[in-house]
């Protein structure tokens, strides 16, 4: 029923992998390499599935769904338990707020295509591209660190796993890849240490994916 077009290090794909695992849903992974041959996401077959030429794409009986948060909302509606959103409306909005800090406030600014275009269109050197990404990751994660001071318990919002946690974990992984000083984010690190022990998160980690590379 479910096929996930994914790349092992894609943070947006990672969010969906955690959700599928958390809800105990079987799925087949179809790896799409984001770098090989200029990026398989730009191939015409993938373009037809997602004209944004991005991952993830979740095929539901062959119907392509993209934009990871829309996919998470679909999974939550179709498979409500175990839930990834609280029931109380303000808390649901909080979860979505925190998720969007990552989804629209960080990830799009540090995405591969943005960095590539900084180089190709504007002649930005590799080190400066990295500094650009690091800046946006630090900016967003510091906001998240403050926010979980109000909303957080064992997880980003309260004590149960929500969409916000699914967004946080891959973004912290990216932060380390860009040499962000994550030790300045103690609340986020404490939440991370609890989440990474959960089976749904363990199985979704890039190292566990069929296309994992050293």
Ligand X SMILES: N[C@@H](CCC(=O)N[C@@H](CS)C(=O)NCC(=O)O)C(=O)O
User: Is 211 within 8 Å of 31 (Cβ atoms)?
Assistant: yes
21 binds ligand X (CB under 6 A): no
**Dihedral angle over CA of 188, 95, 11, 65, nearest 10:** 170
99 binds ligand X (CB under 6 A): no
Structure tokens at 103: 């989804």
CB of 78 to ligand X, least distance (A): 18
Give the x/- contact pattern for ligand X in 113-142, rule: CB under 6 A: x-----------------------------
Q: Binding to ligand X by residue 41, rule CB under 6 A? A: yes
Please give the Cα distance from 16 to 69 (Å, whole number).
8
Near ligand X by CB under 6 A: residue from 4, 20, 34, 168: 34
> Could you give the CA distance from residue 159 to residue 208 in angstroms, rounded to a whole number?
26
Quick check: 191 binds ligand X (CB under 6 A)? no
What is the C-alpha separation between 16 and 23, in angstroms, rounded?
11
Is the CB of 55 or the CB of 157 nearer to ligand X? 55
Q: Is the peptide bond before 132 cis (omega within 30 degrees of 0)?
A: no
How far apart are CB 142 and ligand X at their closest, in Å? 21
Only segment of 33-41, 86-94, 128-136, 148-156 that touches ligand X (CB under 6 A): 33-41
Minimum CB separation of residue 49 from ligand X in Å reads: 12
Q: Name which of 172, 113, 104 is nearest 138 in CA terms.
A: 172
Structure tokens at 189: 């690190």
Query: Footprint of ligand X on this chain (CB under 6 A)?
Result: 10-12, 34, 39, 41, 54-56, 66-69, 103, 111-113
């Amino acid at each position: 029923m479910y096929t996930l077009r994914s790349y092992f290090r894609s943070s947006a794909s990672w969010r969906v992998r955690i959700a599928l695992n958390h809800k105990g849903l079987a799925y087949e992974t179809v790896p799409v390499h984001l770098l090989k041959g200029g990026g398989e996401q730009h191939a015409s077959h993938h373009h037809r599935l997602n004209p944004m030429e991005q991952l993830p794409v979740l095929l539901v009986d062959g119907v392509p769904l993209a934009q990871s948060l829309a996919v998470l909302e679909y999974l939550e509606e179709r498979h409500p338990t175990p839930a990834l959103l609280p029931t109380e409306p303000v808390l649901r909005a909080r979860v979505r707020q925190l998720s969007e800090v990552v989804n629209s406030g960080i990830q799009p600014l540090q995405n591969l295509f943005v960095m590539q275009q900084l180089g190709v269109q504007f002649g930005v050197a590799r080190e400066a591209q990295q500094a650009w990404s690091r800046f946006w990751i630090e900016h967003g994660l510091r906001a998240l660190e403050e926010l979980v001071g109000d909303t957080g318990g064992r997880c980003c919002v309260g004590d149960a796993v929500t969409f916000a946690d699914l967004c946080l974990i891959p973004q912290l992984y990216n932060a380390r890849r860009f040499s962000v000083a994550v030790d300045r984010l103690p609340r986020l690190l404490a939440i991370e240490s609890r989440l990474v022990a959960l089976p749904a998160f363990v199985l979704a980690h890039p190292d566990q994916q069929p296309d994992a590379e050293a």
